């Protein structure tokens, strides 16, 4: 355990000095995407949406089924999942609350090649200050954290869209360092 702490302390200053010299290279938390899939429409789906609404204080967007599955009673186009996307200060505050359920630890295997990471919450009552209503029950959901550098919008804008050079993408190591410094997390 002590060896891991030493490795992380040696790991943290690697990019931190470069970010101080070049602030546009420092990654930012772009979006926090919370997705829950109930697998059916109806009262259970509405309860899950209400729980998401209470946690995020935003209106969830319905996600329809892509195809019909007769064995499960799912019809194509029927809403079976809900998603909420948060940005800015709301995303930062909610991410801190969500990480409380994991004791501020994330596996290094959760990070992808673009520096984003994901984790799952099995029951929403594990979240810090989560509302619990016995009439609604509990739900689990997936959380995706999108990390980018400033200027990334060049890839998605309407006019004069351009490809980004490889060096502009956030590496998993940079994302891990950003998360450990900004959110006081441990990477295991």
- What are the structural domain ranges in the chain? 2-170+181-187
pLDDT score recorded for residue 9: 46
Instruction: Tell me the pLDDT of the chain (188 aa) as tens digits.
Output: 455 544 444 444 578 778 888 888 889 899 999 998 887 788 888 888 888 888 888 999 988 888 888 887 778 888 888 999 999 999 999 888 888 877 788 888 888 888 898 988 877 766 777 777 777 777 888 899 999 988 777 787 888 888 888 888 888 888 888 888 888 888 88
Angstrom CA distances, 61 to 27, 34, 148, 170, stand at 27, 11, 24, 28
Distance separating alpha carbons of residues 169 and 55, to the nearest angstrom:
31
Domain 2-170+181-187 has CATH 2.40.50.1020: no
Distance separating alpha carbons of residues 18 and 14, to the nearest angstrom:
8
The torsion angle over the Cα atoms of residues 9, 12, 14 and 19, rounded to 10 degrees, is -150
Angstrom CA distances, 64 to 33, 67, 72, 134, 150, stand at 17, 9, 15, 27, 33
Q: Answer left, alpha or beta for residue 57, where phi above 0 means left and psi between -120 and 50 means alpha.
A: left
pLDDT score recorded for residue 86: 93
């Amino acid at each position: 355990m002590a060896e891991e702490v030493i490795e992380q302390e040696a790991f943290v200053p690697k990019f931190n000095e470069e970010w101080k010299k070049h602030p546009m290279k420092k990654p930012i938390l772009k979006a926090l995407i919370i997705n829950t899939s109930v697998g059916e429409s109806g009262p259970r789906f509405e309860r899950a949406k209400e729980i998401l609404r209470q946690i995020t204080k935003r209106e969830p967007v319905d996600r329809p089924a892509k195809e019909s599955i007769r064995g499960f009673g799912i019809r194509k186009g029927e809403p079976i999942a809900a998603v909420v996307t948060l940005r800015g200060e709301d995303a930062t505050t909610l991410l801190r609350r969500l990480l409380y359920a994991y004791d501020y630890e994330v596996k290094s295997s959760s990070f992808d090649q673009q520096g984003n990471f994901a984790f799952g919450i099995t029951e929403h009552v594990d979240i810090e200050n989560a509302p619990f209503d016995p009439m609604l029950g509990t739900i689990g959901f997936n959380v995706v954290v999108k990390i980018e550098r400033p200027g990334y919008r060049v890839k998605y804008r309407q006019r004069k869209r351009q490809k980004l050079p490889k060096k502009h993408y956030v590496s998993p190591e940079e994302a891990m360092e950003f998360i450990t410094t900004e959110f006081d997390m441990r990477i295991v």
